[in-house]
Structure 1
Amino acid sequence: MGSVKRLISFILCVGLLIITEETKGASAAWLKAHATFYGGSDASGTMGGACGYGNLYTDGYGTKTAALSTALFNDGKACGGCYQIVCDASQVPQWCLKGTYITITATNFCPPNYNLPSDNGGWCNPPRPHFDMSQPAYQTIAKYSAGIVPIFYRKVGCKRSGGIRFTINGRNYFELVLISNVGGPGDVSNVWIKGSKSDKWETMSRNWGANWQSLTYLNGQSLSFRVQASNGQIITALNVAPSTWQFGQSFKSSVNF
């Protein structure tokens, strides 16, 4: 009976959620996890991180972000993905803000702490699924004083403004490209690059987080990118960077998922 009551409570809690662009493509199942918070009341401590995004405002993510535990981060493959989160009021009604939810973007990694048990401080220890949310995001679903709350979550589509952004770092014969502001699935599984002096698309490899690398000399060529999202969709951004591009520059395409 207890499990039935919790299920009914959860349904009532999320029953008023409106289906928006953010929830399209959501997985059918809600999954259980826990959530904590970090980064301060202005989320300034969330900038940068293991996905490689710099300023989360200019990269299109703002404060609705979270660091994911090992089980969810998947060695950076989850970077840019969006998750809908609601506090489980059936377990902690005193801490949850009932009827509220938030859609966050995975922008960082929550490292394990093997010196602490997973049920008392080592929240991000494998195989535990956990979201260390920005403080502003956390406080939309739960009270600050709770510290940690049980949640339900599910993968959803990402709604972005403008096109996919490509930031080119590295050096000659080594282009390290940060891919950000990705809509749709949000997380990227494959990337190809092509210089204007070639007819062939070169497969890039994930260097770390949302950074992809090429080991080809591409200086003096306009650059095009082909991006495959985690759901298999592929989009092509032609001549995003002009032939005069320089390392450290960022370019926004006109296409997105």
Structure 2
Amino acid sequence: MCSNGWIRAHATYYGVNDSPASLGGACGYDNPYHAGFGAHTAALSGALFRNGESCGGCYQVRCDYWADPKWCLRGAAVTVTATNFCPSNNNGGWCNLPRHHFDMSMPAFFRIARRGNEGIVPVFYRRVGCKRRGGVRFTMRGQGNFNMVILSNVGGSGAVKAGAVRGSRGKTWRQMTRNWGANWQSSGDLRGQRLSFRVTLLDRKTMTFLNVVPSSWWFGQTFSGRGQFL
């Protein structure tokens, strides 16, 4: 680790058309724009991804100019959102444990590195807060009495630690568990009910979104809450 909380890592980039991270990937987001993240996204190595715990989190990345002045842009930095997992043995083993690595979108990578390079640069990174437009989004997934919701466009630390849901016919909160990535599941049939959610981030900040989903909801729909983490 360097001073001011910066940590050493490496970064590569993926192509626009052949990217495994351009759509949902291991976090489950349908696409980064619909999820509120825009073009600056990255797939994380296992040491950073942590089985999906980092999905939606934000990282400020800057190229290590003093280590690679040929390809790094001096003083440049970019903030990326974690949307996917970079598997081991990918990109020449750069994503293998215990390495810290970012496989970045092309627009993000070329904010910090010159074009024409070999495709990998040394970087520094640190966790930063996520700044989002609008409220937290809830995308309903599943079928029948199997309920799953994708939490996206989450501000603050960005990464969700725990969640709970409550239907309008009940008085108690049902704890949700991480199914995979940013997909959270709960038991019981919640169809035909207004739904409220309670979301807790990794930094333990918690918000409650009352009746954010109307009783007419159906699988595949996305609803936006009025509140947002800061």
In the alignment, the residues of structure 2 paired with residue 44 and residue 171 of structure 1 have an alpha-carbon distance, to the nearest angstrom, of: 26
- Matched residues in 1 for 2:137 and 2:106: separation? 26
Moved over 3 A (4+): 41-45
Match in the other structure for 1:252: 224
- RMSD value over aligned CA atoms? 1.8
- Distance, in Å, in 2 between the alignment partners of 1:66 and 1:189 is 20
Asked if 1:214 is matched to 2:177, the reply is: no
Aligned residue among 158, 161, 171 for 1:199: 171
Q: 1:56 to 1:34 in 2, by over 3 A?
A: same
Contact in 2 for aligned 1:43/1:135 (Cα 8 Å) = no
Distance in structure 1 (CA, Å) of the matches to 2:148 and 2:21 = 24
Residue among 199, 205, 212 paired with 1:233: 205
Q: 1:125 aligns with which of 91, 96, 107?
A: 96
Q: How far apart in 1 are the matches of 2:105 and 2:41?
A: 6
CA distance in 2, matches of 1:81, 1:108: 11
- Aligned-pair identity in percent equals 56
Point out where structure 2 has 5 or more consecutive residues left out of the alignment.
none
Instruction: Tell me what 1:190 maps to.
Output: 162
Query: Quick one: structure 1 residues 113 and 49, their matched pair in 2 at CA, closer, same or farther if it must change by over 3 Å?
Result: same
Report if aligned partners of 1:35, 1:133 keep a CA contact under 8 Å in 2. yes
CA spacing shift, 1:45–1:205, aligned 2, 3 Å? closer
Asked whether the equivalents of residues 42 and 136 of structure 1 are also in contact (C-alpha less than 8 Å), the reply is no
**TM superposition shift of 1:145:** 2.5
Q: Deviations over 1:112-137 (max 9, x none)?
A: 118xxxxx811100110100000110
| Map 1:65-214 → 2, pairs under 5 A | 65-113=41-89, 121-146=92-117, 147-214=119-186
Conserved? CA contact 1:65–1:134, under 8 Å: yes
Q: How many angstroms does 1:41 deviate by?
A: 7.8
Amino acid at match of 2:26: A
Greater Rg, structure 1 or structure 2? 1
- In 2, Cα distance between the equivalents of 1:83 and 1:187? 11
Q: Distance in 2 between matches of 1:198 and 1:122?
A: 50
Q: Which amino acid aligns with 2:222?
A: S
Query: In 2, distance between residues paired with 1:248 and 1:169?
Result: 6
SS in 2 for 1:145: coil
Number of residue-to-residue matches in the alignment: 227
What SS does structure 2 have at the residue aligned with 1:205? Answer: strand
Mean Cα deviation higher: 32-41 or 218-227: 32-41
Q: 22, 35, 45: which one pairs with 2:11?
A: 35
Amino acid at match of 1:189: K
Q: Does 1:64 align with 2:40?
A: yes
Distance 1:164 1:42, change over 3 A: farther
Of the structure 1 ranges 142-151 and 131-140, higher mean CA displacement relative to structure 2 is found in 142-151
Structure 1, unaligned runs of 5 or more: 1-6, 12-27, 115-119
TM-score (norm 1): 0.85
